[in-house]
Amino acid sequence: MAKLAVSREEIRRVLDPPREQIDGQGEALAHGLGGFPRSRTMQLLMSGRGLGTLGALAGGLLMARPTLALRLLKYVPASSVAKILFSRAVAALKERPRKGA
């Protein structure tokens, strides 16, 4: 039991972000009690690098096995994906500095 506890603590130490990375998000967010997405996997996938990786994976799957990719595409909620992409595009346009102003 002691070896198992030590092993769990090592895994927790490796997977948990250091306290400096939490950047004052509050105690509730630090323990995963608030904010979206709460899981670290979803946070990784929703980040810029994660979305790029998912896009590359989807493109590779579409080129390698198009029938499987199109069959899997039926399970993706198109309206939700469209809303996310639209909101990201609008946010990117708002952040872009204007040259004439």
Q: Determine the pLDDT at residue 98.
A: 66
Q: Determine the pLDDT at residue 64.
A: 94
For the cut 70, the answer to whether the pLDDT of residue 5 exceeds it is: yes
Domain boundaries, the chain: 39-101
With a CB cutoff of 8 Å and minimum separation 6, the contacts of 22 are 29, 30
- 17 vs 101, more confident: 17
- 62 vs 46, more confident: 62
Q: Determine the pLDDT at residue 28.
A: 47
Please say whether the beta carbons of 62 and 69 come within 8 A. Answer: yes
Residues 76-94: tens digit of each pLDDT: 888 887 888 788 888 888 8
For the cut 70, the answer to whether the pLDDT of residue 74 exceeds it is: yes
For the cut 80, the answer to whether the pLDDT of residue 9 exceeds it is: yes
